[in-house]
Amino acid sequence: MTASTFTPAPWPRKLRSQEWYGGNSRDTIYHRGWLKNQGYPHDLFDGRPIIGIMNTWSDLTPCNGHLRDLAEKVKAGIWEAGGFPVEVPVFSASENTFRPSAMMFRNLAALSIEETIRGQPIDGCVLMVGCDKTTPSLLMAAASCDVPSIVVTGGPMLNGSFRGERVGSGTHLWKFSEDVKAGKMTQEEFLEAEQSMSRSTGTCNTMGTASTMASMAEALGMALSGNAAIPAVDSRRRVMAQMSGRRIVQMVKDDLKPSDIMTKQAFENAIRTNGAIGGSTNAVVHLLAIAGRVGVDLTLDDWDRCGRDVATIVNLMPSGEYLMEEFFYAGGLPVVIKNLGECGQLHKDALTVSGQTIWDEVRDVRNWNEDVIRPVDHALTEQGGIAVLRGNLAPNGAVLKPSAASAHLLTHRGRAIVFEDIDDYKTRINDETLDIDETCIMVLKNCGPKGYPGMAEVGNMGLPPKVLRKGVTDMVRISDARMSGTAYGTVVLHTAPEAAAGGPLGVVQSGDMIELDVPNRRLHLDISDAELKARLAAWKPRHEIVTSGYAYLHQNHVGGADTGADLDFLKGCRGNAVGKDSH
Ligand code: FES
Enumerate domains of the chain plus CATH numbers.
Answer: 48-158+200-378 (no CATH), 160-197 (no CATH), 387-544 (3.50.30.80)
pLDDT reported for residue 1: 67
Give nearest CA residue, ligand 1 atom 1: 131
CA–centroid distance, 93 to ligand 1, in Å, is 10
C-alpha span between 474 and 463 (Å, rounded): 7
Cβ–Cβ < 8 Å for 456, 103: yes
* pTM of the predicted model as reported, rounded to 2 decimal places: 0.96
Give 405-456 pLDDT, tens digit per residue.
999 999 999 999 999 999 999 999 999 999 999 999 999 999 999 998 889 9
- CB of 157 shorter than 6 A to ligand 1: no
C-alpha span between 449 and 439 (Å, rounded): 29
Could you tell me the CA-to-CA distances from 40 to 86, 157, 451 in Å, in that order? Answer: 11, 36, 50
Give nearest CA residue, ligand 1 atom 2: 204
From the DSSP assignment, how many helices (H) and strands (E) are in the chain? 20, 14
Mutate to test the pocket of ligand 1, among 132, 205, 206 (most ligand atoms within 8 A of CB): 132
Handedness of CA 264, 302, 407, 480 (dihedral sign): positive
C-alpha span between 522 and 387 (Å, rounded): 10
CA–centroid distance, 224 to ligand 1, in Å, is 22
Q: Measure CA of the first residue to CA of the last residue in the chain; give whole Å.
A: 40
Mean pLDDT to the nearest integer, 357-368 = 98
Give 225-267 pLDDT, tens digit per residue.
999 999 999 999 999 999 999 999 999 999 999 999 999 999 9
CA–centroid distance, 326 to ligand 1, in Å, is 18
- CB of 213 shorter than 6 A to ligand 1: no
Query: Which residues are registered as beta bridge partners of 85?
Result: 51
CA–centroid distance, 435 to ligand 1, in Å, is 35
C-alpha span between 62 and 79 (Å, rounded): 28
Q: Which amino acid is at 429?
A: I
- CB of 203 shorter than 6 A to ligand 1: yes
Calculate what percentage of the chain has a pLDDT beyond 90: 88
Cβ–Cβ < 8 Å for 421, 446: yes
CA–centroid distance, 115 to ligand 1, in Å, is 26
Could you tell me the CA-to-CA distances from 577 to 25, 122, 154 in Å, in that order? Answer: 21, 11, 30
Q: Reply yes or no on whether the pLDDT at 547 is more than 80.
A: yes
For the CA of 96, the closest atom of ligand 1 is 3
For the CA of 64, the closest atom of ligand 1 is 1
Q: What is the bridge-based pairing of β-strands 124-129 and 149-153? A: parallel
Q: Reply yes or no on whether the pLDDT at 395 is more than 70.
A: yes
Calculate what percentage of the chain has a pLDDT beyond 70: 99
For the CA of 63, the closest atom of ligand 1 is 1
Cβ–Cβ < 8 Å for 267, 354: no
CA–centroid distance, 217 to ligand 1, in Å, is 16
pLDDT reported for residue 319: 85
Strands (DSSP E) contained in 378-440 are 387-391, 394-400, 411-419
CA–centroid distance, 281 to ligand 1, in Å, is 15
Q: Reply yes or no on whether the pLDDT at 546 is more than 90.
A: no
Q: Reply yes or no on whether the pLDDT at 539 is more than 90.
A: yes
Mean pLDDT to the nearest integer, 507-526 = 98
Element (H, E) at 15: none
Mean pLDDT to the nearest integer, 135-160 = 97
CA–centroid distance, 300 to ligand 1, in Å, is 25
C-alpha span between 257 and 117 (Å, rounded): 14
Mutate to test the pocket of ligand 1, among 56, 58, 66, 95 (most ligand atoms within 8 A of CB): 95
CA–centroid distance, 414 to ligand 1, in Å, is 34
Average pLDDT of the residues of the chain: 95
For the CA of 132, the closest atom of ligand 1 is 4
| Residue 514 main-chain phi, psi, to 5 deg | -125, 140
Cβ–Cβ < 8 Å for 182, 190: no
- CB of 204 shorter than 6 A to ligand 1: yes
Quickly count: other Cβ atoms within 10 Å of residue 254's Cβ.
17
| Residue 203 main-chain phi, psi, to 5 deg | -90, 175
* Residue 475: closest CA among 433, 425, 417, 420: 417
